[in-house]
Amino acid sequence: MHLDTIELPKKNKLMEAYTRDSLFFHKFFDYEVTTAGYENRAKELAMRSFQREELASVIEQYMQPFEISKLATQHIKELSSDALVVIGGQQAGVLTGPLYSVHKAISVILLARQQRERLGKPVVPVFWIAGEDHDINEINHTYTAKQGKAIKQQFKQPTILKTMASDTIYDQKEMAAYIRKIFKSYGETSYTHKLLHGVLQSVEEQQTYTGFFTSLINKLFAEYGLLLIDAAYQPLRQLESAYFSQMIENAPAMATSIYATEQQLHSMGYGKPIESEKTDANLFYVHDTGRVLLKRSGGMFVNKQAGLSFAEQEMHKIAAERPWHLSNNVATRPLMQDLVFPVLAFVGGPGEIAYWSLLRQAFHTLGINMPVIVPRLSITLVTRQAQEALKRTELTVNQVLEHQLPWVQEKWLNEQRDERFHQMLMETKQQLEVQYEKIQKHLESTDPGMLPMLDKNLQFHTSQFDYLEKKKEQSILLKHQVQNNRYNTLNEQLLPDGSLQERLYSPYFFINQFGEGFIDELLKQPYRFDGSHQLVYL
């Protein structure tokens, strides 16, 4: 493997401002991504108190069924004492979800390792699993590659209620069949049997989407000491009790500041990341029929559709006695992470950083600062097959990732066309139409009843010309199949369905080709945490 770094065109104006505009950065964030930024954040955390022993115990309890490595055990012990945390997270997707879930885990591990060395104190990596999310259609699928296209493969087990991923039970037999189908599309390699066996073992041992996800992530990253926690884990909810009360008490002030900040961003041309409203409670309530969002109305916390209404005092009682009935949304999740963990740095993608840009004043309302916000690693994996295709088509990775491939391939296809054949076909078609016009004029005066049959007959002959042209194109493609397949390889591997590879494919697509040492090799690369796009040549 070797690494290269490129700059992709910035489609996200907010991320462009975040990485390049210091005035924008200091307006919406607290700490720069610099040595001084990390040091100042560490000093702030030293002055705050955390439920360290209780938190370490909760993480150990959560991870116990998945086996805890020696390094993870050390990290839990350090967390109970004085360790700082680098944290990132993701929804509990099937087969770990898309590659960027793994890129986040790699980012968290490497950044924690880097800051441990630079600060001279324990810094541990934590992966926060958003098991409280309830939109199962966002996580119940993966993509496979076929003939130059990315094909969505959905696990079609219906869900009726809006239950959280951590509570949604899958059919183990159906899931096992689905996983086998995905691996069959990957193709058989020397690694497939062992790899598939391990994934199917996780399917059998777990029951929920979150459990399945945790099992796979732990198998991939256990030896690197990655700590895992599910946001919906009941013992964690109990630990969060007092923090929920803080959010309930400060809900009006936080909603007002978030709304005002979003309006400011919108006026500056950066859009509205979460479409907030002044009446937001920024909390969900979890009950028998699922997870529903609360609003504030007349001093009450309500969800009219579900017929729920709580006074503030009742909300505080729920937080104290049944905190697992409360759940954070995108605005309060970062706040909860920061209250629970001594967060040195948060690692997130463009969408997450857009959410965070709204929260500075909300953090200050709770008497804390935002952590250092670091863009996750954005990576494209370039296989040898793709490298060969680039060479033979005389394209660069930049050209492909800048969406130039479709018109390059179209131009190439046009150059292969048999223009003389096409011209003769068109001339023949025109001559036929001229003759049919003569027949039509004759029939109009002699036998108009025959006109519908004449039209039908002309359509038949026209369709035959279309058939001939289609067959000729197929013949040309067959003749130049090798080169066309190279274009298809670049389409399906580097920019599938017009998206970055990391947004669609599961890491198992690549682990199946390169073996379990693949993750270790990825972790050895000298990445840059500066928002640039990394190319890993395999």
Tell me if 203 sits within 8 A of 172, measured CB to CB. Answer: yes
Q: Is position 436 within any domain?
A: yes
Whether the CB-CB separation of 226 and 248 falls below 8 Å is answered with: no
| 422-425 own/partner pairs: CB under 8 Å, 24+ apart | 422/469, 422/472, 425/465, 425/468, 425/469
Pairing mode of beta strands 343-348, 372-375 = parallel
Please state the φ and ψ torsions of residue 482, each to the nearest 5 degrees.
-60, -50
Nearest to 226 by CA among 31, 72, 427: 72
What is the residue type of 266? H
Please tell me the total count of domains within the chain: 1
| Full strand arrangement of the beta sheet holding 84-90 | 227-230, 123-129, 84-90, 343-348, 372-375
Distance from chain centroid for Cα 382: 19
Distance CA(22)–CA(18), nearest Å, equals: 8
pLDDT in tens, 426-482: 888 899 889 999 999 999 989 889 999 999 998 998 888 888 878 877 777 777 788
Task: Give the number of other Cβ atoms within 10 Å of residue 384's Cβ.
Answer: 10
Which stretches of the chain score pLDDT less than 50?
none
Residues in CB range of 21: below 8 A, 6 or more apart: none
CB 17 within 8 A of CB 24: yes
Give the pTM.
Answer: 0.89
Which DSSP string do the residues of 76-116 spell out, in sequence order? Answer: HHHHHHT-EEEEEEE---GGGSSHHHHHHHHHHHHHHHHHH
Query: Is 391 part of a structural domain of the chain?
Result: no
Neighbouring CB atoms inside 10 A of 315's CB total 23
Residue 78 tokens, joined? 């350090």
Structure tokens at 29: 């964030």
> Residue 442 domain-assigned?
yes
DSSP state of 8: -
Is residue 380 within 8 A of residue 496, CB to CB? The reply is no
Task: Tell me if 105 sits within 8 A of 221, measured CB to CB.
Answer: yes
Tell me whether residue 465 is in a domain. yes
| Residue whose pair of structure tokens reads 């462009």 in the numeric block | 16
pLDDT value of position 465? 82
Q: Which helix (H) or strand (E) element contains residue 229?
A: strand 227-230
Do the Cβ atoms of 335 and 363 come closer than 8 Å? yes
For residue 327, the surrounding DSSP H or E stretch is strand 326-328
CB hemisphere CA count around 426 (13 angstroms)? 6
Query: How confident is the model at residue 175, as a pLDDT?
Result: 97
Other residues' Cβ atoms within 10 Å of the Cβ of residue 210: 26
Residue 426, domain member (yes or no): yes
Q: Is the dihedral of CA 178, 96, 98, 537 positive or negative?
A: negative
Q: Does a structural domain hold residue 353?
A: no
Structure tokens belonging to residue 526: 């000298």
Tokens of 235: 């013992």
Residue 470 lies in a domain: yes
Q: Which domain holds residue 470?
A: 404-494
Distance CA 37, CA 195 (A): 41
Strand, coil or helix: what is 346?
strand
CA distance 74 to 196: 30
Residue 467 lies in a domain: yes
